[in-house]
Structure 1
Amino acid sequence: MKRALLIAEKPSLMRDIQKVYKKTTLPYEIDFSSFVGHVVELKEPHEYKPEWKKWNLDVLPMIPERYEFRVKKSAYKVYKDIEQTLKSNHYDFIINACDAGMEGENIFYSFYKRVGCKLPVKRFWTSQTTDTAIQKALQQLIDENDAMIRNLRNAAMYRSVFDWLIGLNLTRVATVKGGRIIKVGRVMTPTLAIVVKRELEIRNFKPEPYFQIEIDLDSFKAMWFDPKTNDNKIKNKELAEAIKSQLMGIARVVDVKTERKSMYAPSLHSLLELQKEANKFFGLTSAQTLKIAQGLYEKKLITYPRTESKHLPAAFAKTIEDNIRTLANLNEYQEVVKNILSNKKQIEYVRHSKRYVDDKKLTDHHAITVTDVAIGKKKLTADELKIYHLIARRLLSIFLPPYLIDKTAVVLQSGEHFFKANGISIIDKGYTVLYESFNKKNERPLPMLQINMELPIRQAEVLSKMTEPPQRYTDSTLLDAMFHAGRFVEDKELQRILKDAEGIGTSATRAEIIEKLISIGMIGRQGKSFIATQFGIDVIESLGNHDVVSPVLTAIWSKKLKDIVDGHLSSRQFYGEMLQFVQETTARLKSIEMEVAEKQTVVVGKCIKCGSSVEEGFKGYACSNKACKFFISKTLMKAKITSTDAKKLLTGKETREIRFTWKSGKKGKAKLKLNGEKLEFVFSQSKEQK
């Protein structure tokens, strides 16, 4: 019997597959192993050529003759263990069980090349981690030469290479010209430009006064407007007071229009839509939502989260009742699920609705939805429950009636002046019954009104207001701006390209890009909003109209990568165009003058080892004395060590209670303190955790 080595992307997935394998009859035997995400990475420049170690403009652009990988220090043991397994056993083929997408292909094949493996590869491919889905994927392995898999693999590799070439070459040019570390990237820099543009709009905004006139008609209020321009703002108070004085004491109805509107449930979640909704309702950052969703996926409760699609495939929709039935175990959905499952006609309608089910609108994966695995006794955190319920509600909502309202607009006249009021009457709450706890809209109906009806004006008031600057971006609105990056360019053809490419970045990478901009000090968080730092503003203003600032750059190349995946562009042609672009872009950046303010040093305390100042850096808090190696990392066991924590440690105090993730995967809280140069945990009630 043939023998294979299956390599999963994470240990949790490996264990899930292993469990199903034991209950499944296959014509081959499988041994199991696992990565921990990326175990190799592209080499640094100096590992190709010694002269690339010095940051010198004369050697740029750096373009290796062939691209090579090195083992990541953090994954060295994992790499060596799998390498030894391959050497000490005879296998007929390898099973690639990394996540089913471009990044999963990159994780596997970068290892495959680095380790020098020549064995044939079969692809384990599934968007769910339920037992049924895993069993099906094991029984229907895809050959590595399948066109879809081959194209996806090529696109993944060239995306990685392109980011290396753009990031390292342009970062070095900008750093040399600017006199301090200035990171540049094809997605990161245009994202920074979006935030900077908004920041400058706010800084340069000059508020102007305006006035409005509101009349109280007892059961509702109406606002003055100019029927010629439809504007309700009055530039000066004198004119507003004059209009108020000319009112007749009554307002006559001159027009009433009522329109019935049906609003169907929105499409199912892509990762982008889930991140936006989680930020809107719960204030979760995009990175937090992605991490939570990944955890729910690994617990088999939701389908693969890193998806751009908002639609289900027809084959999946055929058994959608199984997914709906899972939610009957939750008290809040029992009645809804019962009603849905009894309405076979509505289920069939959804199955054939292009609004929700469309094979042509699928990407690597379909929309996120709950699986047929019930929560049962699984222990979920409060945030995991929030995300699970968002996904559950969205699935159930597509099987419920539309939200039905009558929207009424009335125009009234008093003397020569006109007023407008709007009201909404809810005819059927439809799917919104699932969202009543989130609905904060004050939707009020207007009374029954007829033309020529006269209403007494109880009170007329001049409202004094000021124009307001645009709002800063939140996680939700910045993600949306990245997706709809075509709004920031004027050329219609470029707008189309950006729309086809679905903006800049991907659902799986946008959160990471935002967090990276924060970590390098180019943007910051202010409550739920993002602000651009002076450093970030200086970088964008210095780069001016360079290609790397525009969202068009990443959109064009993302479109080319998609063409590789779809089989419309050869990898060889892509690489040739890429090299020419890198050479031309690097040359243009060399001609730019970078004017960036010097980095401001943030001192958090005195070094306990040598007495010098300890300064905050990108990765931690380091002694300013280069000969002294004292350092406190900003991250420890997946927890963040803040500057306030560092200050307390340096003065001999204990930190706040911090939530850590132990090696076993368990989470627990503890304080930190310094014992000499070593960090120690301080547990409440003398409890120890390992």
Structure 2
Amino acid sequence: MKGLLIAEKPSLMRDIQKVYKKMQLPFEIDFTSFVGHVVELKEPHEYKSEWKKWDLNVLPMIPERYEFRVKKSAYKVYKEIEQILKTNRYDFIINACDAGMEGENIFYSFYKRAGCKLPVKRFWTSQTTDGAISKALLNLIDEQDLLIRNLRNAAMYRSIFDWLIGLNLTRAATVKGGRIIKIGRVMTPTLAIVVKRELEILQFKPEPYFQIELDLGQFKAMWFNPETNENKLKNLEEARAVISRIGQGAVVRDIKTERKTISAPPLHSLLELQKEANKFFGFTSSETLKIAQSLYEKKLITYPRTESKHLPTAFAQNIRENLQSLATLEEYGSTVQNLISRPDNIQKTIRSKKYVDDKKLTDHHAITVTEVAIGRKKLSPQESKIYHLIARRLLAIFMPAYVIDKTAVVLQSNDVFFKANGNMVIEKGYTVLYDAFKKKQETPLPTLQVNMELPIRDAKILSKMTEPPARYTDSTLLDAMFHAGRFIEDKELQKVLKDAEGIGTSATRAEIIEKLISIGMIAREGKSFKATQFGIDVIQSIGKHDIVSPELTAIWSKKLKDIVDGQLSSSQFYKEMLTYVKQTTDGFICLDMSVAEKQVVVVGKCLKCGQPVVEGFKGYTCSNKACKFFISKMIMKGKITPTDAKKLLTGKETREIRFTWKSGKKGKAKLKLVNEKLEFVFSAPTKQTKG
């Protein structure tokens, strides 16, 4: 028996191959790999010639049969694997794409396009350590396994649904609006969230208010109304009237101390890792995902594209190996030895449903470090930061809780009341790992007793203005997408959204945000997102149409999950999907789309004809339609920014850009235009023409 193993990426293929060579299996394996997606659903005109024209009369476009085409960027890889399959040397294929819905989509879209009939076995693991790979090779799953089959169907229908919604509604909106208006199942509700906040900010009218601060020497207290608990006064006259009633001293009327015991937070899902990296380091969600993927490929962390914050019991029972991998790092050595010397404490954590729960696992478990130590592996500063966030979170769950006494004191001066709060740390517990990130220390109140009288040093009026809601950051927008139930009132649908884990997935949310930026619907301002006038116009033109609602996309995500769980048949899903697509497209055709005209961004002069080169959706193109000059925005996964394009057009070199070579390896190089052709410029004197 002989099988052909197809991995999703060359790096994973090499890892599996290395382990396989040390094993004795009852069958032989040859190896090859994709480079991510190698095929995609065909464009409308490839089904029917009349669908090439953007015409409302042909909508909705619904193919009788969905077919795939080879992606231009992956043509060579596709043909190589196709030729290998045509040799007829294999009895079965091993699908070694990532263990999840998207991995199924990548493999089976190729499998269908290639017309392959060989039986398939599934290589399934969320880790790339030698032990995990060996276990997966020994326990290959049959393609007819119910969970795998359902996952495959859900993956296929998700891509078809996105095709139908995206292409039909984008065309309807574009024809009605007079410029390209991208519409998406998850993208448009995400835009609506940002637009709603932007409109709240634009419509916000700041109002003055006043507070009264009492200086009691060792601490300060704020005025409050004991009947309403309000601590703000609307006008200066009221504040002055309160000040006039304050005496020379204040008497302690009430003291309440509450002890809070706070356990370490759960382990990271990708969402939680992205939020924490944005909070501590300002990393964007897409940057964090890219860094985590690199650490995964280096075998230092488990699979990063996960929604889960829990570990499976079987994995947790061997967690000492993962902890031990951190022992060689100077900052964790003593902590690890202390934890490992207390096995009872480790078992107590493993029994805690907060951290270990088989019932709360998704396709993959929480992100954590593997048993592979960093050793001599070279990490970039960014990789090191992300790795240490993940390491700290793992160590934290085995450490003591953070214990703090929160004290609230009520004071009275004549008939005026004040409130002061203080916190005293009793046990730092796991928070010692995060001392470097603390911006301020907890401040305790001095020892006080009821009826104690304190002299007042000063009482002053603080003049303030109400502030608009804050714009979304990567952290808060990701959180809003995950907790999209906050945006609807229906309790039952809130639960649907919660079960569906919001809009988008851990693997797609960052990509959706970046796409909204690239098409000009939202923009980054520092660490925040701002809706552009174009984005605002799109959402206001669509109005209350359900495509802008988080509830709609979450319901469809729930239906996909029901397919995976065997609670909904694929045929029933497709029937409901077609009904929705037809109704929604008809609704869009009736819309009045009124959007801002597209701003033309000129990046320089064309080297061929001298006409302006302008920024487009996919690249920088000459404004002279007869001229074919073009610079792509994406070259070998390296992003070419408008600044890069400007430098190229003036004969200068770009900044260093990170590229992914055909072998799967990554490297940095600059770009330069030489005789209208792009060349790589490496730090070494050697030059290589882009081929």
Q: Same fold (TM over 0.5)?
A: yes
Alignment of 1:352 with 2:351, yes or no, is yes
Equivalent in the alignment of 2:459: 460
Counterpart position of 2:254: 255
In structure 2, C-alpha distance between the alignment counterparts of 1:37 and 1:685, rounded to whole Å = 30
For 1:590-669, list aligned pairs within 5 A: 590-660=589-659
Whole-angstrom CA distance in 1 between matches of 2:440 and 2:165: 46
Moved more, 524-533 or 626-635: 626-635
- What code does the residue aligned with 1:117 have? C
Relative to 1, partners in 2 of residues 1:26 and 1:685: Cα closer, same or farther, differing over 3 Å? closer
Matched residue type, 2:207: E
* Aligned position for 2:505: 506
Q: Show CA shifts across 1:379-404 (max 9, x none).
A: 11111111111111101100001000
> What is the aligned partner in structure 1 of residue 211 from structure 2?
212
CA deviation digits over 1:70-115, x for unaligned, max 9?
A: 1111111111111110111321111000000000000000011110
**Secondary structure, counterpart of 1:24 in structure 2:** coil
Q: Which residue of 1 aligns with 2:88?
A: 89
Given that 2:311 and 2:355 are in contact with CA atoms closer than 8 Å, whether structure 1 keeps it comes out as yes
Q: Tell me which residue corresponds to 2:150.
A: 151
Pair 654,144 (structure 1): closer, same or farther in 2 beyond 3 Å: closer
- Write the distance in 1 (CA, Å) between the matches of 2:66 and 2:19: 38
Instruction: Letter of the 1:513 partner, please give it.
Output: I
1:174-204 alpha-carbon deviations (Å, 9 max, x no partner): 0111111100001000000000011111111
In the other structure, the counterpart of 1:42 is 41
TM-score (norm 1): 0.98
User: How far apart, CA to CA, are the structure 2 residues paired with 1:617 and 1:417?
Assistant: 64
- Residues 383-439 of structure 1 deviation map (CA, whole Å, 9 limit, x = unaligned): 111111111110110000100000000011111111111100000000001111111
Within 5 Å, give how 1:191-230 maps onto structure 2: 191-230=190-229
2 CA distance for matches of 1:338 and 1:648? 53
> What secondary structure, in the 3-state scheme, does the structure 2 residue paired with 1:440 have?
coil
Letter in 1 for 2:270: L
Read off the aligned partner of 2:441 and give its amino acid letter.
N
Shifted more, 650-659 versus 614-623: the winner is 650-659
Task: Report the AA paired with residue 41 of structure 2.
Answer: L
Q: In structure 2, what is the Cα distance between the partners aligned to 1:424 and 1:519?
A: 46
Task: Write out aligned runs for 1:173-322 (5 A).
Answer: 173-322=172-321
CA distance in 2, matches of 1:658, 1:94: 37
Q: Contact conserved, 2:7 with 2:96, CA < 8 A, in 1?
A: yes
Q: Name the residue aligned to 1:343.
A: 342
For 1:50 and 1:377, the matched residues in 2 are separated by 57
Q: How far off is 1:578 after superposition?
A: 0.8
Inter-partner Cα distance in structure 2 for 1:311 and 1:106 = 25
Describe the SS at the equivalent of 1:266. coil
Letter in 2 for 1:103: E
Q: 2:307–2:364: 8 Å Cα contact kept in structure 1?
A: yes
Q: Which one-letter code corresponds to 1:640 in the other structure?
A: K
Kindly indicate whether the alpha-carbon contact (under 8 Å) linking 2:6 and 2:32 is maintained by their aligned counterparts in 1. yes
Deviation string 1:659-688 (CA, Å, 9 cap, x unpaired) is: 555556666655444333123445568465
Deviation at residue 169 of structure 1 after TM alignment: 0.6
2:139 maps to 140
Please show how residues 435-450 of structure 1 align to structure 2 within 5 Å: 435-450=434-449
> 1:327–1:583: structure 2 CA closer, same or farther, 3 Å change rule?
same
Task: Tell me how many residue pairs correspond in the alignment.
Answer: 689
Change (3 A) 1:684 1:365: closer
Gaps of 5+ in 2: none
TM-aligned CA distance change 1:663 to 1:115, over 3 Å: closer
When the two chains are superposed, the root-mean-square deviation of aligned CA atoms in Å is: 1.5
Give SS of 2:617's match: coil
- Whether contact under 8 Å (2:500, 2:558) holds in the other structure is yes
Deviations 1:247-290 (A, max 9, x none): 10211111100000000000000010011001111111111111
Q: What letter corresponds to residue 444 of structure 1 in structure 2?
A: T
Write the deviation string for residues 232-260 of structure 1: whole angstroms up to 9, x where unpaired. 11111121122112110211111100000
Shift in CA distance, 660/364, structure 1 to aligned 2, threshold 3 Å: closer
Q: Secondary structure at the match of 2:326?
A: helix
**Greater Cα shift, 78-87 or 235-244:** 235-244
Shift, 1:608, TM fit:
2.2
Per-residue CA shift, 1:126-148, capped at 9, x if unaligned?
A: 01110011001000000111111
How many Å separate the matches in 1 of 2:81 and 2:672? Answer: 37
Residue 378 of structure 1 deviates from its aligned partner by 0.8
Q: How does 1:414-433 map to 2 (within 5 A)?
A: 414-433=413-432
Change (3 A) 1:637 1:41: closer
Q: Deviations over 1:512-557 (max 9, x none)?
A: 1001101111111111100111110000000001111001111000
CA distance in 2, matches of 1:121, 1:232: 67
> Runs of 4+ in structure 1 displaced over 6 angstroms?
none
Structure 1 551/122 Cα, relative in aligned 2: closer, same or farther at 3 Å?
A: same
Which deviates more from structure 2 when the two are superposed, residues 598-607 or residues 21-30?
Answer: 598-607
* Alignment map for 1:16-27 (pairs within 5 Å): 16-27=15-26
Does residue 480 of the first structure (1) align with residue 476 of the second (2)? no
Give 3-state SS (helix, strand or coil) of 1:436's partner: helix
Structure 2 SS opposite 1:33: strand
**Superposition TM-score, scaled by structure 2 size:** 0.98
Alpha-carbon spacing, 1:312–1:657, altered in 2? closer, same or farther (3 Å): closer
Q: Say yes or no: does 1:398 pair with 2:414.
A: no
- Counterpart of 1:327? 326
